[in-house]
Structures are given as C-alpha cells and as structure tokens.
C-alpha cells in the first residue's frame, strides 16, 4: 500500500509568520511531488511541484524534497489569512497519491 502521510493539523500560525507543512511517502519509486491548496468547498489548486532533491522557491512558497528520507515539505513565508486552507501533498509514480491534507489557519 503506497501511502502519503501528513499531519492533519490544524496548524495555526500568526499573520506574517512562516508556516511549515510536512509530508512523508512510502513509495521509493515516486518521481514527482506536488502541493495543492484546497479551500473549503473548492477543488484542489496546484501551488508547487518539485522533482529533484533540494529546495524550489516560488514567491512566498518554498518546496523542499529529500528523497533519501522520503520527505517533502512546504514553507509559506509571510503567511496571510488568505493562505488559510487545507494543503494536500501528492506524490506521483505513474498515478497521483494524495495525503489527507493539513488544515492551516493563519490568524490576523
């Protein structure tokens, strides 16, 4: 059973702080790694993807991948109340497998 594990949260951070979201996966053959944001009642929205070990930055978001540790993380700098959502980690080895998501709340 290929699994993707996330802390369900809720993770609560003050506005302007760094939010750190973590994800581990079991399938060592996984090749692509994604972070989706899902607002309540909406469909998932892709915010970051990463294929290689290391860091990838896009605006306030940084994705980090460590394949040896089977670990993916997402950092959100200068968190805003509009970042409050569920963040889904997804891992691909042919098909996408999703974690259950971490609920992030950014408090004004």
Partner 1 sequence: SAVISQKPSRDICQRGTSLTIQCQVDSQVTMMFWYRQQPGQSLTLIATANQGSEATYESGFVIDKFPISRPNLTFSTLTVSNMSPEDSSIYLCSVTDLDGRNTEAFFGQGTRLTVV
| Measured distance CA(41)–CA(55) in Å, rounded | 31
Q: Which of 7, 22, 67, 98 binds partner 1 (CB under 8 A)?
A: 98
72 binds partner 1 (CB under 8 A): no
What part of residues 25-44 is at the interface with partner 1 (CB under 8 A)? 31-32, 34, 41-44
What backbone phi and psi angles, to 5 degrees, belong to 15? -55, 135
> 32 forms bridges with which residues in the sheet?
92
| Measured distance CA(87)–CA(38) in Å, rounded | 6
Report in angstroms how near the CB of residue 12 gets to partner 1 at its nearest.
19
- With H, G, I as helix, E, B as strand and everything else as coil, classify residue 31: coil
Q: Which of 49, 60, 71, 105 binds partner 1 (CB under 8 A)?
A: 49
Residues that bind partner 1 (CB under 8 A): 31-32, 34, 41-46, 49, 51, 88, 90, 92, 95-101
């Amino acid at each position: 059973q290929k699994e993707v594990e996330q802390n369900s949260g809720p993770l609560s951070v003050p506005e302007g702080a760094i939010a750190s979201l973590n994800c581990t996966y079991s399938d060592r053959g996984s090749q692509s790694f994604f972070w989706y944001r899902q607002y309540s009642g909406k469909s998932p929205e892709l915010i970051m993807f990463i294929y290689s070990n290391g860091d990838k930055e896009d605006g306030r978001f940084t994705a980090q991948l460590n394949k040896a540790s089977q670990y993916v993380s997402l950092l959100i700098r200068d968190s805003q109340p509009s970042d409050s959502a569920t963040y889904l980690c997804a891992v691909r080895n042919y098909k996408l497998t999703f974690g259950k998501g971490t609920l992030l709340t950014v408090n004004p």
